[in-house]
Amino acid sequence: MKALRYENEKLSVADVARPEVDDEALVRVTLSGICNTDLEITRGYAGFQGTIGHEFVGVIEELPEAVSETRPLGRAQFQEEHALTVGPLTRGQRVVGEINAGCGTCVLCRAGDPRHCAQRTVLGIVGRDGAHAEFLKLPVVNLLPVPDEISDERAVFTEPLAAACGILERASITEETRVAVIGDGKLGLLCAQVLATTGAPVTLVGKHQSKLQIAARRGIETVDVNRAKARTREFDVVVEASGSPKGFDLALDLLHPRGVLVLKSTFHGATELSSARIVVDEISVIGSRCGRFAPALDLLKTNAVDVESLISEERALDDGLRAIARASEPGVLKVLLRP
């Protein structure tokens, strides 16, 4: 099969062996999305070697003979809290997949949440070949069915949308919480839309009018990054999703004393933080990485967020190198790959 791989500091579309079916499910990828993490991996982030990519929608090609009845928090929550039936998975079923595969035996895994399992592998990021390929493997318990109402072009956003939903697990947001999101890229736009579903007044800070307009069409206040500097100490919660070290300083400017700074950006290299400002203003700093897929699927099913406007273009997997180069260009949002 074809796969987009990063090995020995080189990116290539390679012919590799199709994964063998063992105790995991084999999924035929129908669409994958290029993420900023993919771009950072090609710059040395996480030291990953192998097939990159972790945003996907696909079809179950093969299932192991013995399927575990254990259900992770994603599928259990999907069934219990979102009124969507989750029965036994079958061949030919459309699915998305939680990207963290845990050991299955530690306290976290037994509680149904492998996102911080010390032995976990992470699709296309840590110790596990990823989604920019014709096929991938994941444990059956990681897979969630895609409702018929959600197209492939929307379903492929499940993982980054879940990451945006993850903020609500880490920070308390109510209708009275004044929230700012820094960064008008893919993640920032998704974070702003998710946070707006709480009823909280949300302000998206960015520098690209075309991107800010995507949020404005959803009723979200937008402000140019240069003008945002005048809004010192106005916000209760600031989400840093710009991918730029300058975003940290701006976030501290916008937060009032005892505010909450949520960090979403991950990138290669060190970042300086003003610890004195954090201590003096008693700022709470919270990291937020992966979220649960069930709330994201629910938002996609009810059309509560606009993801189509984030698609810049689609390319064939064979054209993966140019797709990565295109995704790296300023102003480009989501580039999709179709095997």
Q: Is 188 helix (H, G, I), strand (E, B) or coil?
A: helix
Q: Which residues pair with 27 in a beta bridge?
A: 60, 136
- pLDDT given for residue 244 in this prediction: 82
pLDDT by 10-residue block (mean), the chain, 339 residues: 97 96 95 95 90 98 72 45 60 97 94 93 97 97 96 98 96 97 97 98 97 97 95 96 88 96 79 84 94 96 97 98 97 97
How far the first Cα of the chain sits from its last, in Å, is 10
pTM score > 0.85 for this model? yes
- pLDDT given for residue 286 in this prediction: 95
**Rounded to whole angstroms, what are the CA distances from 329 to 185, 332, 334?**
12, 6, 11
Beta strands in 34-192 (DSSP E): 50-51, 55-62, 94-97, 100-101, 121-123, 127-128, 135-138, 143-145, 179-182
Can you list the domains of the chain with their CATH numbers?
Answer: 2-163+291-338 (3.90.180.10), 167-287 (3.40.50.720)
Beta strands in 264-330 (DSSP E): 284-287, 311-316
* Angle between helix 158-165 and 186-196 (nearest 10): 60
Q: Is 170 helix (H, G, I), strand (E, B) or coil?
A: helix
* Dihedral over Cα of 25, 26, 30, 34: its sign: positive
Instruction: Give CA–CA dist 245/236, Å, rounded.
Output: 21
- pLDDT given for residue 246 in this prediction: 86
- pLDDT given for residue 67 in this prediction: 57
